[in-house]
Amino acid sequence: MARVFSGIQPTGELHIGNLLGAVQNWVRLQSEYDATFCIVDLHAITGAFYDAAQHRQRTLDMAIGILASGVDPERATLFVQSHVAAHSELMWLLNAVAPLGELERMTQFKDKSAALESIPAGLLNYPILMAADILLYRADKVPVGDDQVQHLELSRELARRWNAAYGGGATVLLEPEPLLTKARRIMGLDGESKMSKSKGNTINILDSPEVIWEKLRPAKTDPARKRRTDPGTPEICNIYDYHKHFSPPETVEMVAHNCRTAAWGCLDCKRVLADNMVAVLAPIRERAAELTGTPGRVEEILAAGAATARERAAETMTVIHERMGFLPAR
């Protein structure tokens, strides 16, 4: 069975952008592939969300969200990156073949470093750690958004360079292919930028029906609909886009019609959306409640995931140590 690997940063509770953009796809992939999913807490230490006091809780909340969304530990391996030391180790070893110029040319590095007075080396080396994540498990396919394609290309190059330098003609490290999901970039409630915790424009998967309504009620719609009698253009309305993800096709059609003809107001439209969103998220909230209702359950799942991951990573590391000429420990 082909192997899939993907990672997600521990930003805390999942929002519907994470759910529709990444995790729902993972749930589909786990039945078609030998799937490994990683909460990349080591990557997070250079990121906007990192706060040592909240790091553990955010990592745990991310795990709860992923499991509640349907990633099944019986079918996929889910683990926390820092629980498997080989990630950090391989990252260092890959430093030997990582070209500085290319790291400096990564768009994400350029964007993030431009805003900083002092640039941590970790920001530059971020894609090397990502390559280590993937190469350790000899993954064939990596589901990522288009913003990560450049990093994945670098992973492929590091695999090629390492193989050329140390492989002795063998393909020890596999070049992973991106598995591009059809773009499901979910915009935030402000309708202006991608849904993101840092923008404070999210609907979280565990939000209560009341909170969902409080967030949707003031959300931006087509500005042309100033009065209830003003017709609108659903295609430019964020709320209509949410309907496409949460409402059945007949409702989506009805929503578009009622908007174009001003047959109803934006609040009516949002009420229907809220109900459908609550219905889709209800089973996820229930599973989350079940998981957190058993103390230690999530930690146990993560420990089992880490044990599986460690075993697989160790196989790759043994070959890497050998080929790179390190003296065996015994």
User: Residues in the site for ligand TRP, rule: CB under 6 A?
Assistant: 5-7, 9, 40, 43, 130, 133-134, 142, 144, 148, 151
Give the pair of three-digit tokens for residue 304.
């089992």
- Quote the least distance from Cβ 129 to ligand TRP, whole Å: 7
Closer residue to ligand TRP (CB): 34 or 133: 133
- Quote the least distance from Cβ 60 to ligand TRP, whole Å: 18
**Three-state SS for 258?**
helix
- Quote the least distance from Cβ 134 to ligand TRP, whole Å: 5
Closer residue to ligand TRP (CB): 155 or 238: 155
From the candidates 141, 197, 215, 270, give the one annotated as an active-site residue: 197
If one counts every other C-beta atom within 10 angstroms of the C-beta of residue 116, the result is 10
How many angstroms separate the Cα of 148 from the Cα of each of 76, 142, 177, 211?
A: 22, 10, 12, 32
Cα–Cα distance measured from residue 65 to residue 70, given in angstroms and rounded to the nearest whole number: 9
Give the pair of three-digit tokens for residue 98.
């990582």
Closer residue to ligand TRP (CB): 108 or 292: 108
From the candidates 112, 141, 215, 270, give the one annotated as an active-site residue: 112
Cβ atoms of 185 and 21 within 8 Å: the answer is: yes
- Quote the least distance from Cβ 19 to ligand TRP, whole Å: 14
Closer residue to ligand TRP (CB): 39 or 203: 39
Cβ atoms of 325 and 98 within 8 Å: the answer is: no
Check if 244 is active-site: no
Q: Which long-range contacts (CB under 8 A, 24 or more apart) does 45-48 make?
A: 45/122, 46/120, 46/122, 46/123, 46/126, 47/9, 48/198
- Residue 36, beta-bridge partner list: 5, 77
Residue 104, judged by CB atoms within 10 A of its CB (0-12, 13-18, 19+), counts as exposed
Closer residue to ligand TRP (CB): 106 or 237: 106
- Quote the least distance from Cβ 132 to ligand TRP, whole Å: 9
Give the pairing of strands 177-180 and 3-8.
unpaired
191: left (phi over 0), alpha (psi -120 to 50) or beta: left
Check if 215 is active-site: no
Which residue number places its CB atom closest to ligand TRP?
7
- Quote the least distance from Cβ 307 to ligand TRP, whole Å: 20
Check if 197 is active-site: yes
Closer residue to ligand TRP (CB): 185 or 257: 185
How many angstroms separate the Cα of 232 from the Cα of each of 14, 42, 45, 127?
A: 31, 46, 44, 44
From the candidates 141, 182, 194, 226, give the one annotated as an active-site residue: 194
**Three-state SS for 267?**
helix
Cβ atoms of 32 and 78 within 8 Å: the answer is: no
Closer residue to ligand TRP (CB): 44 or 212: 44
- Quote the least distance from Cβ 300 to ligand TRP, whole Å: 24
- The residues annotated as belonging to the active site are 112, 194, 197
